[in-house]
Each structure stands twice: as C-alpha cells, then as structure tokens.
Amino acid sequence: MALVMLSIIVPALNPLGLPLMTGQMSQDWYDAVDALPEGSVILFDIGYGSGGYPSLGPGNIAAFHQMFDKDLKVVIMATALEGTLMYPLVMAGVNPESNYGAVYGEDYVFIGYVAGTQTAMAGVLGDLHDLVTNDYQGNPISGMTILDDVNGADDIDLVAYMTTSGDIAEGWVYQAYSQYNMDVIGGTLSMMTTSIKPYYDSGQLLGIMDGIKGAADLEFLTGHPGDAIVSSDILTFSQTLVLIFIAVGNISWFMTRKEVKR
C-alpha cells in the first residue's frame, strides 16, 4: 500500500512529463487548428462548469496555447452557465497578454454566457451582432476590432467546443456542420466519446479531445505540460506498479505449485 501511495505522490510532486502515445482523435484536433493560417477566426465554446473542469480545463488551456501561439483570433462564448466562471481560470493558465502579446478586443474576446444552447448557437452563427451587443464585462462589442468583420458563420474558420453536455456536443454538429458545413472540433468527457465518435467517423467532427487523456495529448502536442500530463504520469506509475505486483504474485503462485508437486 505504501508503494502505491508513493507511486501517486512522487509524480504528483515532481511530474516527469513522460512521452505519450497520442491518440488519433487528439492529433486530428491539433492538426485542424495547426492547418489554419495566421489571423483565422475560431469560435470557441466553453460548455462546461466546475464539475467538468478537472477533465476539460487542462485541455482548454493547452488548446488556447496553440491558438494564441499561431496568432489566431479567438471569439469565446459559453453555452454552459458556469462557463463564465471557468473562463478566468483557463485564461490564468494561458496568460495570452504576457506569453503571446495578445490584446483583448483585438486578438480575443469573451462574449460571455449565451442562453438557449442550440438557439444560442444558431443566433451566434446567424448574426452575432444582432444577438450580442456587449462582452461579459458589459463592454460594447461594436468597438472591438476582432469583431469588425465577424458577423456570422461565413466569417468563422473553425468552431471548437469543450463540454460535459450531450446537447451541446451534438448541437454544434447540427448548427455549425449541418447548417453551414463548417469545420468543427469537440472536446468531451471520456464517457461521452462513444456517443460522439460517430460524428468523428463520418467527418462531421474533424477531431475530438477525449477527456483527460485527450487533454494530456494536447498538452504534449503543444509543448505545454500541465495538470493532464501530471495525471497521466500518476496513472503510468501506479498502474505499472500494480502490474508488477500481479506479475510477482503469479510467479510466486507458480513457484509454490511446483514445490507442492515435488
């Protein structure tokens, strides 16, 4: 028991960032963003709250690192009510101003929580300025250069979302891909992957961030290790130790059987 506890505590206190075998769905998410030219516009939905942050928050941070590193324009919204609380946590992990020289209102903006799920999605993609007049702090969006030429779906190059809700996950496929044939990537809890993966298999989702494993993949691919890779290290150490215990136990059992037969 003590060894198992050590295998958890040691990598938690001193993460090694062990190399990962990244999944294809995560690689496709990364490639979809990487393929965008500088200045492209991404609509990003924070569709999760505090309960989903441990699994999706680290991937959200890694995703933003990649987007700001590529000088992409990021229009951020929330279809989850608690998304407005998750936004400052994520941005604190990214620090776009100090790390990338990004300017709020020019390179990124957070328009806040938009109620209605698919109604909200349809409204933002149909006519953003008709639906939203202020950002989450109450500042008029009419004076923000990032939104000067972003009115709806035709002005957005990629839709990305992370969510704990099946309605939100499928909603973006219906509203962005089915209605406008837009490129869409999604991040969900691992337990949701089986229901969302058919959209990936059919090409309606270009990539999927599959829970904490997908988050660790994005951290590794973007070169920004964080909480997800720490979790991966802990799982690697602890599960390896358990496998060693199983192997030793089986070897001991077979040796005991041989001695009994003699």
pLDDT 10s digits, 135-165? 999 999 988 999 999 999 999 999 999 999 9
73 lies in a domain?
yes
The answer to whether residue 11 sits within a structural domain is no
Determine, yes or no, domain membership for 244.
Answer: no
pLDDT band at 226 (very low <50, low <70, confident <90, very high): confident
Q: 155 near 41, Cβ under 8 Å?
A: yes
Residue 250 belongs to some domain of the structure:
no
Strand partners of residue 140: 134
Per DSSP, 104 falls in state B
CA 138 to the chain's CA centroid: 27
Read off the pLDDT of residues 166-219 as tens digits, 9 standing for 90 and up.
Answer: 999 999 999 999 999 999 999 999 999 999 999 999 999 999 999 989 999 999
The β-bridge partners of 73 are 41
- Residue 40, CA distances (Å) to 23, 67, 111, 220 in order: 26, 10, 18, 23
Element holding 210 (H helix, E strand):
strand 207-210
Instruction: Return all residues near 105 (Cβ < 8 A) that are at least 6 apart.
Output: 139, 143, 144, 145, 146
3-state secondary structure of 262: coil
Tell me, rounded to whole angstroms, the distance of Cα 17 from its chain centroid: 19
Structural domain harbouring 42: 23-227
Q: For 75-87, how does the pLDDT look when each residue is reduced to its tens digit (9 = 90+)?
A: 999 999 999 999 9
Contact 214, 208 (CB under 8 A): yes
Residue 240 lies in a domain: no
pLDDT of residue 1: 57
Quick check: is 247 in a domain? no
In a domain, 238, yes or no: no
Q: How many domains is the chain partitioned into structurally?
A: 1
Q: What is the CATH number of the domain that holds 81?
A: 3.40.50
Q: Encoding tokens for residue 7? A: 């295998």
Q: What is the model's pLDDT at position 59?
A: 96
* DSSP one-letter code for 167: H
Q: Which residues of 187-204 are buried (b: 16+ CB within 10 A; e: fewer)?
A: bbbeebbeebeebbeeeb
- The residue among 63, 51, 73 whose CA lies nearest residue 94 is 63
